[in-house]
Amino acid sequence: MKNDFRVTVYGAAGTVTGSKYLLTAGAHDYLIDCGVFQGKKDLRLRNWAKPKFKPDRIKSIILTHAHIDHTGYLPVLYKLGFKGPIYCTEATSDLLELLLIDAAHLQEEEANFANKWKTSKHEPAKPLYTEADARHVLKQIKTIPFYEFSEVGPGLKVKPTFAGHILGSACLTFDYKGSGVSFSGDVGRYNQPILNDPQPLEIGNCLFCESTYGDRDHGQVDSLSELEVVINRAYQRRGPILIPAFAVGRTQLLLYYIAQLEKENRIPTLPVFVDSPMAIDTTALYKKHREEFDTEALALVKDGGVILTTGKTYFCKTRDQSKQLNGLQGPRIIISASGMVNGGRILHHMRNWLPHKQTTVVFVGYQAVETRGQLIQSGVESVKIFAEEVPIHAQVETVSSLSAHADRRELIKWLKDASTAPTTCKIIHGEPEAADAFSALVTEELNWNCSVAQDEEVVEIA
């Protein structure tokens, strides 16, 4: 007979996106995270397939954090009949209002593009969901506090602890009739500025642990020094410094580091333009949620200092403000989305400035295969932007140490700091090599009963 407390894996098994875990507790089903698949086409197609669980049977959904690969499927579930509450932390709720609407806009833009240029087999091409769907599902969100158990269904309680990954990010521990299961969500790095470190977890009988960097160490490179060298080198060229950056997390980290380098007189004070409405709104949310700040960031604001603002920061919210950047001269920093140069305002800056040798392009995040960012980074001579072949004479630099994910050493430290050992540990959210390597490492170093979770695997909780 099947246990009445179990987890079925419906995503982020053998890959890092599409996180969805169906938790069955007694007569009810719940969903932990509700992410879209991203990346290669066969993965993206899975977003269009009928889910292997019944959306209208789900009592409630509980989210670890706001990233789209953990939340971007929510509007689809709404369309398929899910009308229950969605529980998350307060900052995650704030971020979701930005991220889900943005995701819907991207879906709609893609469908419009396909219809205009007839690039889809489907006539007409439809978006996975619309802004209206996203707005409907946002109404179902309810916030829960960190470090306290909240009831999310009959007899089922959940306690979020801070994961240190992005604003609002949580690891979740569930309790059902005295039996427990925990989900790591995405775990952040130790000793990063602004936000607190990942906090120790009270692990239940079973743990689902991420393994994004389960086979790698980030190395000892200091992000601040790496950025200092790149900015000073770019300054000598006297041209624009273009930084394609992700709106959530990376932009705020950059602002913090640039301000610190200026304060320590390690770089000249240059004008910094944040040219992305979503990055601007997210920066405001980071400033609002001081309860997640680390001691240094708290001390800075207590002393009356401004956080996430450099000596000369300009936030370009409107299209006109963005266009005005085209006429500027001299060294200046432009931080603009998207982080992989696949869309957004960064495309205009790239088209204008890639052909000039005074320009510096600085990549600060992972560039997925087949993205424009990856092409530019790999040193191609030209790249297609707005149906135009743009020659590249700009200098291309990479700052590799700015990651929002713990590496394998940091993950092991985080597991060692946990209050108890689980009876079962299942590895999720990693490419196959990373997941296998991390499972072996956990078995070796912690002597836990650990294995890699498979898609659709059912894990009974003791």
Binding site for Zn ion (CB under 5 A): 67, 186
**Closer CB to Zn ion, residue 20 or residue 67?**
67
To the nearest whole angstrom, how small is the minimum distance from the Cβ of residue 424 to Zn ion?
24
CA distance 188 to 395: 31
**Closer CB to Zn ion, residue 67 or residue 408?**
67
**Closer CB to Zn ion, residue 314 or residue 366?**
366
For residue 329, what are the CA distances in angstroms to 241, 268, 270, 310, 354? 11, 16, 12, 19, 15
**Closer CB to Zn ion, residue 102 or residue 186?**
186
- Residue 283: phi and psi, rounded to 5, are -60, -40
Which distant-in-sequence residues (6+ apart) come within 8 Å of 243 by Cβ? 254, 333, 334, 335, 336, 361, 362, 364
Which distant-in-sequence residues (6+ apart) come within 8 Å of 109 by Cβ? 343
To the nearest whole angstrom, how small is the minimum distance from the Cβ of residue 186 to Zn ion?
4
CA distance 199 to 215: 22
**Closer CB to Zn ion, residue 167 or residue 231?**
167
To the nearest whole angstrom, how small is the minimum distance from the Cβ of residue 453 to Zn ion?
18
Strand pairing category for 382-385 and 388-391: antiparallel
Q: Which of 322, 242, 311 is nearest to 280 (CA)?
A: 322
To the nearest whole angstrom, how small is the minimum distance from the Cβ of residue 430 to Zn ion?
13
To the nearest whole angstrom, how small is the minimum distance from the Cβ of residue 74 to Zn ion?
15
To the nearest whole angstrom, how small is the minimum distance from the Cβ of residue 161 to Zn ion?
16
**Closer CB to Zn ion, residue 16 or residue 158?**
16
To the nearest whole angstrom, how small is the minimum distance from the Cβ of residue 6 to Zn ion?
25
Three-state SS at 305: coil
Q: Which of 380, 360, 321 is nearest to 242 (CA)?
A: 360
**Closer CB to Zn ion, residue 333 or residue 404?**
404
Contact 59, 28 (CB under 8 A): yes
CA distance 263 to 257: 10
